[in-house]
Amino acid sequence: MKVCPQKDEGGFTMIEIMVVIAIAALAAVLAITQLQPQIHRSRTKSAARQMRADIQKAKLEAIKQNANCIIFLTLAAGGNPGSYLTCVDKNSDGDCDDAGDFTLSQLNFSDYPPAQLTSETFPGGSGFKFNSRGMPEQIGNTGIVPGSATIDCATDAAYSLKVVLAAGGRVKIE
Protein backbone atom coordinates (compact mmCIF):
# COMPACT_ATOMS: atom_id res chain seq x y z
CA MET A 1 0.00 0.00 0.00
CA LYS A 2 1.33 3.32 -1.08
CA VAL A 3 0.61 6.49 0.94
CA CYS A 4 0.21 9.70 -0.98
CA PRO A 5 1.48 12.80 0.73
CA GLN A 6 -1.32 15.21 1.67
CA LYS A 7 -1.27 18.58 0.00
CA ASP A 8 -1.49 21.62 2.23
CA GLU A 9 -4.75 23.31 1.25
CA GLY A 10 -4.41 27.10 0.68
CA GLY A 11 -6.99 29.62 1.88
CA PHE A 12 -7.94 31.90 4.69
CA THR A 13 -9.09 30.97 8.12
CA MET A 14 -12.23 32.46 9.61
CA ILE A 15 -10.15 34.50 12.05
CA GLU A 16 -8.11 36.07 9.24
CA ILE A 17 -11.28 37.03 7.37
CA MET A 18 -12.81 38.59 10.52
CA VAL A 19 -9.65 40.64 11.15
CA VAL A 20 -9.71 41.98 7.57
CA ILE A 21 -13.41 42.89 7.87
CA ALA A 22 -12.80 44.67 11.18
CA ILE A 23 -9.94 46.70 9.70
CA ALA A 24 -12.07 47.66 6.66
CA ALA A 25 -14.95 48.74 8.91
CA LEU A 26 -12.62 50.87 11.04
CA ALA A 27 -11.19 52.54 7.92
CA ALA A 28 -14.72 53.26 6.65
CA VAL A 29 -15.76 54.87 9.96
CA LEU A 30 -12.65 57.06 9.97
CA ALA A 31 -13.25 58.12 6.37
CA ILE A 32 -16.88 59.05 7.03
CA THR A 33 -16.02 61.20 10.05
CA GLN A 34 -13.38 63.01 8.00
CA LEU A 35 -15.82 63.65 5.12
CA GLN A 36 -18.77 64.85 7.21
CA PRO A 37 -17.75 68.57 7.22
CA GLN A 38 -17.31 68.52 3.43
CA ILE A 39 -20.72 66.88 3.00
CA HIS A 40 -22.35 69.59 5.13
CA ARG A 41 -20.60 72.36 3.17
CA SER A 42 -21.65 70.74 -0.09
CA ARG A 43 -25.31 70.64 0.99
CA THR A 44 -25.16 74.30 2.01
CA LYS A 45 -23.65 75.22 -1.35
CA SER A 46 -26.34 73.18 -3.15
CA ALA A 47 -29.06 75.12 -1.31
CA ALA A 48 -27.46 78.43 -2.33
CA ARG A 49 -27.21 77.29 -5.95
CA GLN A 50 -30.84 76.22 -5.95
CA MET A 51 -31.90 79.56 -4.52
CA ARG A 52 -29.91 81.44 -7.17
CA ALA A 53 -31.48 79.31 -9.92
CA ASP A 54 -35.00 79.87 -8.58
CA ILE A 55 -34.46 83.65 -8.37
CA GLN A 56 -33.17 83.70 -11.96
CA LYS A 57 -36.18 81.62 -13.03
CA ALA A 58 -38.52 84.11 -11.33
CA LYS A 59 -36.88 87.00 -13.18
CA LEU A 60 -37.27 85.29 -16.55
CA GLU A 61 -40.85 84.24 -15.77
CA ALA A 62 -41.77 87.83 -14.83
CA ILE A 63 -40.65 88.99 -18.26
CA LYS A 64 -42.27 86.05 -20.05
CA GLN A 65 -45.63 86.36 -18.22
CA ASN A 66 -45.54 90.20 -18.24
CA ALA A 67 -46.40 90.05 -14.54
CA ASN A 68 -44.76 90.48 -11.15
CA CYS A 69 -42.94 87.49 -9.69
CA ILE A 70 -42.61 87.53 -5.92
CA ILE A 71 -39.99 85.81 -3.78
CA PHE A 72 -41.19 85.41 -0.18
CA LEU A 73 -38.43 84.56 2.34
CA THR A 74 -38.95 82.90 5.72
CA LEU A 75 -35.86 83.07 7.94
CA ALA A 76 -34.70 80.28 10.22
CA ALA A 77 -36.27 80.38 13.67
CA GLY A 78 -37.09 77.94 16.45
CA GLY A 79 -35.75 74.81 14.81
CA ASN A 80 -37.13 75.73 11.37
CA PRO A 81 -34.16 76.20 8.98
CA GLY A 82 -36.10 78.65 6.79
CA SER A 83 -37.70 78.52 3.36
CA TYR A 84 -38.72 80.57 0.36
CA LEU A 85 -41.51 80.61 -2.19
CA THR A 86 -41.49 82.11 -5.68
CA CYS A 87 -44.76 82.82 -7.43
CA VAL A 88 -46.31 84.77 -10.29
CA ASP A 89 -48.60 87.58 -9.06
CA LYS A 90 -50.87 88.15 -12.07
CA ASN A 91 -52.94 90.96 -10.53
CA SER A 92 -49.99 92.75 -8.84
CA ASP A 93 -51.57 92.84 -5.39
CA GLY A 94 -48.45 91.65 -3.55
CA ASP A 95 -49.63 88.14 -2.71
CA CYS A 96 -50.08 84.83 -4.49
CA ASP A 97 -53.52 83.91 -3.19
CA ASP A 98 -55.73 84.93 -6.11
CA ALA A 99 -57.02 83.09 -9.16
CA GLY A 100 -54.42 83.22 -11.89
CA ASP A 101 -51.51 83.44 -9.43
CA PHE A 102 -49.34 80.35 -9.34
CA THR A 103 -46.27 79.00 -7.57
CA LEU A 104 -43.07 78.73 -9.60
CA SER A 105 -40.92 77.05 -6.98
CA GLN A 106 -40.45 76.64 -3.27
CA LEU A 107 -37.65 75.35 -1.15
CA ASN A 108 -37.54 74.31 2.47
CA PHE A 109 -33.98 74.34 3.79
CA SER A 110 -34.76 71.20 5.82
CA ASP A 111 -34.22 69.41 2.48
CA TYR A 112 -30.56 70.54 2.63
CA PRO A 113 -29.43 69.87 6.21
CA PRO A 114 -27.62 71.63 7.85
CA ALA A 115 -28.22 74.70 5.60
CA GLN A 116 -30.24 77.54 7.15
CA LEU A 117 -31.58 80.80 5.73
CA THR A 118 -30.40 83.07 8.54
CA SER A 119 -30.72 86.66 7.28
CA GLU A 120 -31.69 88.90 4.39
CA THR A 121 -31.03 92.55 3.54
CA PHE A 122 -33.92 93.39 1.20
CA PRO A 123 -35.72 96.65 2.03
CA GLY A 124 -39.06 95.97 3.64
CA GLY A 125 -37.96 92.51 4.74
CA SER A 126 -39.41 89.11 3.88
CA GLY A 127 -38.55 89.24 0.19
CA PHE A 128 -38.81 91.16 -3.06
CA LYS A 129 -40.40 90.98 -6.50
CA PHE A 130 -39.39 91.23 -10.14
CA ASN A 131 -41.52 93.56 -12.23
CA SER A 132 -42.60 92.71 -15.77
CA ARG A 133 -39.31 94.09 -17.10
CA GLY A 134 -37.27 91.80 -14.84
CA MET A 135 -36.13 94.54 -12.46
CA PRO A 136 -36.08 93.77 -8.71
CA GLU A 137 -38.41 95.86 -6.57
CA GLN A 138 -39.69 96.00 -3.02
CA ILE A 139 -43.00 94.18 -2.52
CA GLY A 140 -45.73 96.84 -2.56
CA ASN A 141 -43.41 99.56 -3.95
CA THR A 142 -41.63 100.31 -7.19
CA GLY A 143 -38.17 101.26 -5.90
CA ILE A 144 -35.28 99.16 -7.19
CA VAL A 145 -34.13 96.68 -4.57
CA PRO A 146 -30.64 95.28 -4.29
CA GLY A 147 -30.01 92.93 -1.38
CA SER A 148 -28.85 89.52 -0.28
CA ALA A 149 -29.90 86.41 1.60
CA THR A 150 -27.42 84.58 3.83
CA ILE A 151 -27.32 80.80 3.99
CA ASP A 152 -25.30 79.39 6.88
CA CYS A 153 -24.06 75.89 7.61
CA ALA A 154 -25.40 75.05 11.08
CA THR A 155 -22.57 72.61 11.82
CA ASP A 156 -19.75 74.87 10.59
CA ALA A 157 -20.02 78.44 11.87
CA ALA A 158 -17.20 79.55 9.57
CA TYR A 159 -19.06 78.53 6.40
CA SER A 160 -21.63 81.00 5.09
CA LEU A 161 -22.79 81.91 1.58
CA LYS A 162 -24.70 84.94 0.32
CA VAL A 163 -27.08 84.94 -2.61
CA VAL A 164 -26.73 88.52 -3.82
CA LEU A 165 -29.24 90.34 -6.03
CA ALA A 166 -27.86 93.44 -7.74
CA ALA A 167 -30.01 96.47 -8.60
CA GLY A 168 -29.94 95.43 -12.27
CA GLY A 169 -31.30 91.96 -11.49
CA ARG A 170 -28.06 89.98 -11.64
CA VAL A 171 -27.91 87.12 -9.14
CA LYS A 172 -24.65 85.67 -7.81
CA ILE A 173 -23.31 83.66 -4.89
CA GLU A 174 -20.57 85.11 -2.69
Is 25's pLDDT higher than 80? yes
Is 145's pLDDT higher than 90? no
Of residues 78 and 1, the one with the higher pLDDT is 78
Dist CA 156 CA 43 (whole Å): 12
How does residue 99 score in pLDDT terms, banded at 50, 70 and 90?
confident
Give Cβ neighbours of residue 168 (< 8 Å, ≥ 6 apart).
135
Single-letter residue type at 105? S
Q: How far apart are the first and last CA of the chain?
A: 88
Dist CA 81 CA 167 (whole Å): 27
Q: What is the pLDDT of residues 33-91, one digit of tens each?
A: 888 899 999 999 999 999 999 999 999 999 999 999 999 999 999 999 999 999 999 88
Whether 172 contacts 57, CB under 8 Å: no
Which of 3-12, 54-63, 104-113 is predicted with the least confidence, judged by mean pLDDT?
3-12
Q: Which of 169, 55, 165, 168 is nearest to 104 (CA)?
A: 55
SS3 of residue 137 by DSSP: strand
How does residue 6 score in pLDDT terms, banded at 50, 70 and 90?
low
Dist CA 126 CA 137 (whole Å): 12
Q: Give the pLDDT of residue 134.
A: 93
Q: Give the pLDDT of residue 12.
A: 85
SS3 of residue 63 by DSSP: helix
